[in-house]
Amino acid sequence: MAKTKQSATIIEFEREAVPEHATKPARSFWGMFSSEHVAGTELLIGPLFVVHGVAAFDVLAGLVIGNILAVLSWRFMTVPIAIKHRLTLYMQMEKIGGKKLTSIYNMANGLLWCFIAGAMISVSASAVMVMFKVAPPSLDAVLPENPLMVAIVLAVGLVISVVASKGYDSVARFANIAAPWMIVMFIALGLSTLPDLGIHSFSDFWEKAQTVIWNGSNQPGFVKFSIWHVIFFSWFGNLAWHIGMGDLTIFRYARKANYGFASLSGMFLGHYIAWIAAGMLYAVQLQADPGNTTVSPGPLAMSTMGFAGLLLVLIAGWTTANPIIYRSGLAFQAINSKWSRVRVTLFAGGIASIIGIFPGLSMKFLSVAALYGLILMPVGAVIFADHFLVKRMGMIDFFAEKKGIAFYLPPAFAWFLTLAFCLLLNLKYGMQIFFLGLPGWFIAIAIYLGLSYYYQQRKP
């Protein structure tokens, strides 16, 4: 799910359009997506589907539908905008909403990345905890249960933060080397669970899938998932990147809009095979001890793959957390360019490490991931409307840039009012967080267009 190691090119052409000669061939995007979306987060998401009591058909079919919707979102929403202007999300945002609004976006983005990085630090720490024989936190734990666990998470967080503060290149290089290995190890992970689950043929698989792995019974305190939950989670798991337009930064290097289909590799290696493999791994744990419901990737991988499994957990968590902390630091630094990048990266790493000591974050990771996408989605909706609709309705696009406005109110209101509306839908009408992105997107578009029309009539 998480973005891991977008190539170092993301820091090039920060404030200018990518020139034609710097564009990249399709294979770069296929490779980038397949490595970015096989990450530490998959080790949490797969088991959490089982915890939420999803049925076998619902998960296997729902993931296909949701992942295809995600690919189509990249292809038909993100990439056409990316290759038209070839600007980063931040530059597009600055042209539409002004510098001050972009600073708020940076702050929100930086903080949200700390939460995702915190979860990844706890994933890596779960592998270290196995080495120190520390019991994993229980499924319903919110606060840390063991001082040694806190110490391990903080130590792992410190190491990751220090490495991230040293710069991007070495981490990105190692992540690129580890990516093919991680993809193969996830496949091996799934295969290694077959003997424990008593699966020796395809018919065995389908029977065990329905009765043992995804048997449809959810754990107490976790809402029961239907096929709709699976479809919407797999579609909106990367909401911030496709509909939220985060991947403008990457796809501005694409030569054609069809390069958006490269996201197929990430979706089906990471968000299909890896999620299913991780779910099967959790089923092995439950089968051995139905009372052991904790979702802790370290012990899970150790039980079926031994030391190599621990290495997978450690590297998958680390290679995800590291670039996220680095980019979180960059987002904070963008607020004030005088701040030292090393210090803000350490600051971001410190926040992520502190967040990581709370096991509730990992145990509720599906909600955390959905919330992350939802908070950033309205900005993508504004960019979409500005690109496709504003001119057609007789209004001016990139209004803040053209009029020299530092804080353009319509996109700001579209963002904040959409979130308030989603909160209302959640609290008053009980609409679960996994579904809020869809009505939220239409609301954001409507608010932005309505307020832009009103504002531009008054200040032509």
Q: Which residues bind another protein (CB under 8 A)?
A: 173, 177-178, 180-181, 184-185, 187-188, 191-192, 194-195, 199-200, 305-309, 311
Q: What is the 3-state secondary structure (H, E, C) of 375-444?
A: HHHHHHHHHHHHHHCCCCCCCCCCHHHHHCCCCCHHHHHHHHHHHHHHHHHHHHHCCCHHHCHHHHHHHH
Query: 212 vs 311, which CB is nearer to another protein?
Result: 311
Task: Supply the minimum distance, in Å, between the C-beta of residue 133 and another protein.
Answer: 18
Task: Supply the minimum distance, in Å, between the C-beta of residue 176 and another protein.
Answer: 9
- Say how many C-beta atoms besides its own lie within 10 A of residue 143's C-beta: 10
Distance between terminal CA atoms of the chain? 43
Query: 70 vs 305, which CB is nearer to another protein?
Result: 305
Query: 272 vs 413, which CB is nearer to another protein?
Result: 272
**322, 357, 327: which is closest to 344 by C-alpha?**
327
Task: Supply the minimum distance, in Å, between the C-beta of residue 64 and another protein.
Answer: 23
What are the start-end ranges of the H helices in 52-197?
Answer: 56-73, 79-85, 89-97, 99-131, 147-165, 169-197
Task: Supply the minimum distance, in Å, between the C-beta of residue 179 and another protein.
Answer: 10
Tally of residues, the chain: 460
Query: 60 vs 188, which CB is nearer to another protein?
Result: 188
Task: Supply the minimum distance, in Å, between the C-beta of residue 220 and another protein.
Answer: 33
Query: 145 vs 196, which CB is nearer to another protein?
Result: 196
Query: 88 vs 192, which CB is nearer to another protein?
Result: 192
Give the whole-angstrom CA distance, residue 257 versus residue 81: 9
* DSSP string covering 335-387: T-TTS-HHHHHHHHHHHHHHHHT-HHHHHTHHHHHHHHHHHHHHHHHHHHHHH
Task: Supply the minimum distance, in Å, between the C-beta of residue 280 and another protein.
Answer: 11
